[in-house]
Amino acid sequence: MPRAEAEQVVVAGREVAVSNPAKVLFPKPKYTKLDLVRYYLAVADGALRGAGGRPNVLVRYPNGITGEFFFQKRAPESRPPWIEVVTLRFPSGRTAEEVVPRDAAALVWLANLACLELHPHPVRTDDLDHPDELRVDLDPVPGVKWPQVRDVAQVVRAALQDFGLTGWPKTSGSRGMHVIVRIERRWTFDEVRRAALALARDVERRVPKLATSKWWKEERHGVFVDYNQNAKDRTVASAYSVRPTPDARVSAPLNWDEVKSVDPADFTLATMPQRFAKVGDRHEGIDQGAGSLEGLLELSARHEREGQGDAPWPPHYKKQAGEPPRVQPSRARASKFPLIEIGRSSTWTRIRVNLQHVPPKLRPRQERLDPDEKTLASW
């Protein structure tokens, strides 16, 4: 079946080509790439409030939600000159130019790449070392029902208020909920993570039967308050992101009254534009005030004095000073000898495609490999 001709979309004073606009990305409701483009145009102001002006990781679904997807940190070399990029340096020492959306045209360009979700870092381009967001990720363990997530979110709200901070809730678009906290740009990534860990432990203290701060899955119960989402190089799906669910749910900004009875299934690619047109962006005021982490960092220092030091980091981060042994508790109890684990956390696969029978005009240009040979050699 021949591919449909590209459709030209004029937005923000720019003309953006949408290739193969009839490509189905969500098989059950038959939502197409053009539907995704129109969705992001309808909610552009809110989506840019969450992801605009920040470096973004691209999460691409070129064959829809039933096909393979991939994370792309490096901006495609073949891009319009008006697409802004910024160079990030990661904990591994590697660098990458990441896309920085600034207007609705950039959102359309991303949608054309089949980027369903927006995955911004918690920093602005003018200061890449000091986050302006603390992100509370409420992740229910298997079997935990949605009402418990809502209950824990209310506890998070109360805890934040006790430390002089304002939380802005949203559905994750999956099973959980996020609470976004704007903060002053005074602290490093490590300090923001320490504050998030202190908050997670405080929420667990308040409702020990409902929430946990434990990193190891075998120790978790209820709703996990994932403090590690604040480690450098971690991103979460931002407000209005479309998630790869059969019904195309989206991450919906809420006010706190809505949290009491909200159902995440109510917010989809089809329904959110109507809600946005009716009530606007529930997070419209999020940038009007930034809070201080001093209270949470004081709590972190108290935890340390009481014997609660650092907690485990994600596995691909280097071992941190003061971090407890990075081994599952059950394995630590079972072993009679001092052990270390040696393994590989990820692999890279490179595939060469023979373009001999592809007409020269249709052959894509070779882009920089991710990772390239120089980067691989440095590993």
Q: Which of 114, 139, 134, 111 is nearest to 123 (CA)?
A: 134
Q: Given this model, what pLDDT does residue 345 score?
A: 46
| 334 found inside a domain | no
317 and 199 housed in the same domain: yes
58 and 183 housed in the same domain: no
- b/e burial code for range 288-317 (CB count within 10 A of at least 16 → b): eebbebebbbebbeebeeeeeebbbbeeeb
167 and 83 housed in the same domain: no
Q: How many domains, in total, are found in the chain?
A: 2
Beta strands in the chain (DSSP E): 7-11, 14-18, 24-26, 31-32, 56-60, 70-72, 84-89, 95-100, 115-120, 133-140, 168-171, 177-182, 211-212, 223-225
Secondary structure class of 128 (helix, strand, coil): coil
Residue 262 has a CB neighbour count (10 Å cut-off) of 20
What CATH number is associated with residue 88?
3.90.920.10
104 and 205 housed in the same domain: no
| 249 found inside a domain | no
Secondary structure class of 305 (helix, strand, coil): helix
- Domain span at residue 65? 7-121+265-274
| 259 found inside a domain | no
Burial category of 334 from C-beta neighbours within 10 Å (exposed 0-12, middle 13-18, buried 19 and up) = exposed
111 and 178 housed in the same domain: no
pLDDT digits (tens, 9 = 90+) for 154-182: 999 999 999 999 999 999 999 999 999 99
146 and 112 housed in the same domain: no
Upper half-sphere CA count for residue 177 (Cβ side, 13 Å): 31
| 17 found inside a domain | yes
51 and 93 housed in the same domain: yes
300 and 171 housed in the same domain: yes
Residue 349 has a CB neighbour count (10 Å cut-off) of 4
Secondary structure class of 299 (helix, strand, coil): helix
105 and 191 housed in the same domain: no
Q: Which of 122, 67, 128 is nearest to 97 (CA)?
A: 128
What CATH number is associated with residue 152?
3.30.70.3300
**Spatial contact of 203 and 294, defined as CB atoms under 8 Å apart:** no
Q: Which of 112, 114, 303, 290 is nearest to 196 (CA)?
A: 303
Q: Measured between alpha carbons, how far is 272 from 292 in angstroms, rounded to an integer? A: 33
Tell me which DSSP letter residue 250 carries. B
Peptide bond into 325 cis (omega under 30): no
pLDDT digits (tens, 9 = 90+) for 323-362: 787 777 777 666 555 555 555 544 555 566 666 666 665 5
| 126 found inside a domain | no
304 and 214 housed in the same domain: yes
177 and 318 housed in the same domain: yes
Q: Measured between alpha carbons, how far is 17 from 8 in angstroms, rounded to an integer? A: 5
Residue 224 has a CB neighbour count (10 Å cut-off) of 24
Mean pLDDT of 113-119: 97
Q: CA–CA distance from 79 to each of 58, 83, 137, 178, 254 (Å)?
A: 13, 7, 33, 32, 34
| 358 found inside a domain | no
Q: Measured between alpha carbons, how far is 282 from 256 in angstroms, rounded to an integer? A: 10
| 336 found inside a domain | no
| 167 found inside a domain | yes
Q: Which residue has the higher pLDDT, 354 or 300?
A: 300
* Portion of the chain with pLDDT greater than 90, in percent: 78
Question: What global pTM score does this model have?
Answer: 0.85
Q: List 95's β-bridge partners, or say none.
A: 89
Q: Given this model, what pLDDT does residue 322 score?
A: 78
pLDDT digits (tens, 9 = 90+) for 172-221: 999 999 999 999 999 999 999 999 999 999 999 999 999 999 999 999 99
Mean pLDDT of 272-277: 98
Secondary structure class of 169 (helix, strand, coil): strand
108 and 139 housed in the same domain: no
Q: Which residue has the higher pLDDT, 49 or 375?
A: 49
Identify the band that residue 5 occupies on the pLDDT scale cut at 50, 70 and 90.
confident
